Amino acid sequence: MLTADLNHVKTVEEFYKSIRTQQEAAHGKEYCDQHDAITKYMKECNSYKELGTHQGGTAACAMLTKPKYIELLDINHYKYRWKLQELAEPYCKEHNIELVVKDADTASLASLGAPVDMMLIDSLHKADHMKKELELHGVSVNKYIIAHDTFVNQSLHQCLENWCNENRAWKVHERGTVNVGYTVLKKNA
């Protein structure tokens, strides 16, 4: 994945516009389709958890929807701290968003946090790791789980399908099959 040049940005809005533009230029227009899914489904959500933050493109996307709570988990937030952190902290304070950032293996007990309405999975991209994340965090997600790279890596989509079959409370709601793809799971009402 591209590491975007973001030294010039001064706001979360500029950060998001710049990182998305750079990612789409490097990886193709549809690379960021999961961002559109986040924006669409966050209209029904007040809280967000992200497994795998990298520089924070999807975190900024979710932040711009102004939920009440955002939790970012990654094994190391070095690239997030490099730019987005200095913009995100005052933005979240101004908009009354509780922001929690944890350095932790997303498949470990140390990564557990508060229940959320939506969770994004974009971490290790291995089905066995995703299965552990779903087992650990899925119970505390109220509405949607979105996963990136599920078309280019079919084992990730199959992991999500299998998890839904084992946990009848969930179903595959939407699937993007262009570029690297994404999958949206929805909790049954």
The residue among 2 and 108 whose pLDDT is bigger is 108
**CATH of 12-187 among 3.40.50.300, 3.40.50.150, 3.40.190.170, 1.25.40.20:** 3.40.50.150
Q: Is 55 helix (H, G, I), strand (E, B) or coil?
A: coil
**pLDDT, tens digit, for every residue of 63-78?**
999 999 999 999 999 9
pLDDT of residue 1: 75
pLDDT of residue 189: 76
> 48 forms bridges with which residues in the sheet?
70, 118
Q: How many CB atoms sit inside 10 A of residue 78's CB?
A: 11
**pLDDT, tens digit, for every residue of 20-60?**
999 999 999 999 999 999 999 999 999 999 999 999 999 99
Average pLDDT over residues 145-167: 97
Domain-by-domain residue ranges, the chain?
12-187
Quote the CA–CA distance of 36 and 53 in Å, as a whole number.
Answer: 17
Percentage of the chain exceeding pLDDT 90: 98
